[in-house]
Amino acid sequence: MEKEKRTNKYTFQEVKPYNEKDGKTEQLVRMFDTIAAQYDKFNDLMSWGFAKLWRKRALSSLKRFHPMQILDVAAGTADMCIKAFRYLNPEKVTGIDISPKMLEIGKEKIIHAGLSEKIELQVMDCSQLSFDNNSFDAVTIAFGVRNFEKLEESLHQIYRVLKPEGHLLILELNEPQKGWLMKGYRLYIKLFVHQTAKYLSSDQNAYRYLTSSMQAFPKGKEMIEILQNNGFKLVKYKKFTFGVCSMYLMEKPTN
């Protein structure tokens, strides 16, 4: 059953890369188009180099469900799309993203992997999906949900296009919440990530945004509650690598 749209505001939705009047989505399109060529390197920095392992471990949680049609939201440079196809062997993976430049890089990776007939990429905003109801067995979002300008509208759309008993898999970066881990991670971001980012791109606002949005994004029980309030049922919640990454596996109930 489809859930009604909700209009609640969350702090992370107000975090934008540029101090301008443009909406968050418009700013993010410009930002990701600007840093597309360097994004993969920066994501490795933010994840301590564990992003590939986290994707693999998260996707393994979908194996027992054998999803045949997969939608990857915030597909970016298509790493999750390619890994989803290789690990899960579906009939098709469809990836969407708001950044044309990110998808251009993704298309090159897909061609190089020989998967052009199995993976399709489209420019699309998750809050306005053009797919029919009950189209996908699984929806994946890796390190992208914190970039949603309209979280609940996007969750409503994901719920709509998922088949009953279909699954939503979310991976998102977190700032560790306790003791020396929190202090150590903040120091790592400040002294290493921000300094290294200066050599990757001239757009320093982009990298400040990516870290500040991570800090503002709801995590753990708060995020689970948001997902449940939008109709999803919790299947599994897991933290990776001292809590730097969280995985949420949710299900769309049959009624």
Given the DSSP bridges, would you call strands 92-97 and 69-73 parallel, antiparallel or unpaired? Answer: parallel
Q: What is the mean pLDDT of the chain?
A: 89
Opening angle at CA 248, ends 57 and 96, nearest 5: 85
Per-residue pLDDT at 114: 98
The residues spanned by each domain of the chain are: 11-251
Per-residue pLDDT at 5: 40
3-state secondary structure of 142: strand
Q: Is 86 exposed, middle or buried (0-12, 13-18, 19+ CB in 10 A)?
A: middle
> How do the pLDDT tens digits run along the chain, 255 residues long?
444 344 446 778 888 988 778 899 999 999 999 999 988 988 787 777 788 999 999 999 999 999 999 999 999 999 999 999 999 999 999 999 999 999 999 999 999 999 999 999 999 999 999 999 999 999 999 999 999 999 999 999 999 999 999 999 999 988 776 667 767 766 766 666 666 766 666 677 887 888 888 888 999 999 999 999 999 999 999 999 888 899 999 999 997
Per-residue pLDDT at 148: 95
Cα–Cα distance measured from residue 123 to residue 118, given in angstroms and rounded to the nearest whole number: 17
Residues 6 or more apart whose CB falls under 8 angstroms from that of 215 comprise: 175
pLDDT tens per residue across span 50-109: 889 999 999 999 999 999 999 999 999 999 999 999 999 999 999 999 999 999 999 999
Amino acid type, 158: I
Count of residues making up the chain:
255
Q: Rounded to two decimals, what is the model's pTM?
A: 0.90
- Cβ pair 160, 133 in contact under 8 A: yes
From 41, 25, 239, 22, select the one nearest 153 (Cα to Cα).
25
Q: Which CATH number fits domain 11-251: 3.40.1260.10, 2.30.60.10, 3.40.50.150, 3.40.50.1860?
A: 3.40.50.150
Per-residue pLDDT at 1: 40
- Residue by residue, DSSP assigns 68-92 as SEEEEET-TTSHHHHHHHHHH--SE
Distances from the Cα of 62 to the Cα of 17, 58, 170, 181, angstroms: 33, 8, 11, 30
End-to-end CA distance of the chain: 6
pLDDT tens per residue across span 39-59: 898 878 777 778 899 999 999
Cα–Cα distance measured from residue 29 to residue 186, given in angstroms and rounded to the nearest whole number: 27
